[in-house]
Copies of this chain bind each other. A is one copy, B any other.
Amino acid sequence: MIIDCHGHFTTAPPALGQWRERQIKAFDDSGARVSPDELHIGDDEITAAIEQGQLKLQLERGTDLTVFSPGAGKMAHHYGDEQTSLVWSQVSNDLIARVCGLFPDRFAAVCQLPQSPGDALASSIRRSAAELERCVEELGFVGCLLNPDPSDGYWQAPPLTDRIYYPLYEKMVELAVPAMIHVAMSRNPAIQGTCAHYLNGDTAAFMQLCQSDLFTDFPTLRLILPHGGGAVPYHWGRYRGMMQDQGRPPLEESLLRNVFFDTCVYHKRGLELLTDIIPAENVLFASEMIGAVRSVDPETGHRFDDTKALLDSIDSISDADRQAIYGGNALKVFPRLASHVRNHHKQEEVAQ
């Protein structure tokens, strides 16, 4: 069974984006709120969006299950106030829950968190822990997206290793769910979103973790770095050297029990480097489908984000490692995914 650990509902019915625009505008204009009751999306619209989008590509590519979350860029935590982010998160997460309810064998749910920048950060993290609990306990979610920069491009928050985040980590450990560290949009004209802010967020977060003892405090906390870890595997020697210079333990000991890298790297050479440098047990198959890059690579005849076709073409990955990357690791990193899969897949499918 092939599990894609990184997909966003970028193809959500237009009513979602229209509701969000009204929400932002009403607050900006007069501080008014827009009720979630004003959002109307039919099951048929969700079904059509998925069947013509993600499901079609799953079937084409031969992937079985996508760990599915709201559009990451659209989390846009800087808009409005704490209540804005809370209601937007609930609306977005409820929609993901509906997708997974309609296609339980194809999608497992990951939530966005109602983070807010600035003075609201601490209380927004407590609200995030509560929203995570709601999503996991009531809606069957298996993980969350954690934004290291809720200012959306200006890096105004303390590092993720700051104790301000601990209420969330305590809840994650209690619920046995991991977080994918994923920035949202960039509103900074110097930092493009998907090809700069996304990768820089991964790189910055990794270095935050390198310089902390977060995993001493939370030995079972699991964090996933998307987009192949930003610049990290390409600069693995730099990080190894820096840790050695600082007298810290090797990355294998200090980070790799808790930090995982997805395979959203859109060319074979990049994926060869990733799978060569990062131990196979730390690599999770992912495509970010349908996401940042959508067209077909004329060099391969596959879509750029068809990372399965790219990984399939890398002979140096052993069968055991391939099985771990394609699904075995995801079942370990997302402990709740296993029961989701047991509930919705026949035993023989899971074993494959």
Task: Enumerate chain A interface residues (CB-CB to B < 8 A).
Answer: 148-149, 153-159, 188-192, 194-196, 199-200, 203-204, 206-208, 210-211, 227-228, 230-231, 233-242, 244-245, 265-267, 269-270, 272-273, 276-277, 292-295, 297, 304-305
Contact = CB atoms under 8 A, between A and B. Distances in A.
Given A148-B190, A190-B157, A293 B238 contact: yes
A239 B153 CA distance: 20
Given A200-B203, A293-B242, A237 B191 contact: no
A39 to B, nearest CB: 29
Nearest to A268: B237
Contacts of A269: 236, 273, 276-277
Nearest to A191: B204
B192 A208 contact: yes
Q: How many copies does the complex hold?
A: 2
Given A230-B231, A276-B269, A292 B200 contact: no
A156 to B, nearest CB: 8
A294 B190 contact: no
A293 B235 CA distance: 12
Contacts of A304: 237-238, 240-241
Nearest to A305: B241
A149 B191 CA distance: 11
A230 B230 CA distance: 9
A266 B235 contact: yes
A204 B200 contact: yes
A26 to B, nearest CB: 30
Contact of A292 (B211, B242, B277): B242
5 contacts: A154-B156, A230-B231, A241-B293, A241-B305, A269-B273
